[in-house]
Structure formats: C-alpha cells, structure tokens
Amino acid sequence: MSDRTVFFVSDSTGITAETFGNSILNQFSIKPRHIRRPFVDSVEKAVQVVQEINATTQAEGRRAIVFTTVINPEVLAVVEGSLGLVLDMFET
C-alpha cells in the first residue's frame, strides 16, 4: 500500500517534474503512488487534473503531493488552487 499519492503535472512530457520529484521523495521512507499528468497546457485540462487531485485528497484523507513544471501562469494558478500540496519546480 502506498503512503501517499504523488502527482507529476506538466505542460510538456512530465519527465522533468517526475525526475526532480523523485529525487526529493527518495530522501524519505515513503512508498508513493505515482500519477503522471503530462501535456496539461490549458485551463480546461488543469481543471480536470485538479478534480482528480481533489478527489484523491478527499478519498485518502490527506493531501496529495503535486510536483509541477507548468509555465503558463493561468494554468498554474488552477493547479495551485487544488487541495494538494503543490510544489512548483520553477518557483518553490
């Protein structure tokens, strides 16, 4: 069973977000469930991902961790509005 659900959200392939996120997660003794959401390059796609993040957070009773490399400020604002713990690789 995973200790925590981790989302990797990107407006491109998601490789950078996942690589960086994994390097941070390896510092802790948790077994995360990885969910990659690449090509989130519109507000509409971001809303769908946020719904998934929020549903996961509510179902598990704890905040999902969200690593993101989204550049577009409007799309990023939607992701940051989720219930998850959002770590923006370019701002955090």
Instruction: Report domain extents, the chain.
Output: 4-88
What pLDDT does residue 30 have? Answer: 86
pLDDT, tens digit (0-9, with 9 covering 90-100), for 27-84: 998 889 999 999 999 999 999 999 999 999 999 999 999 999 999 999 999 999 999 9
What 3 state SS string does the chain have? CCCEEEEEECCCCCHHHHHHHHHHHCCCCCCEEEEEECCCCCHHHHHHHHHHHHHHHHHHCCCCEEEECCCCHHHHHHHHCCCCEEEECCCC
pLDDT at 1 over 60: no
Longest dimension (CA), the chain: 35
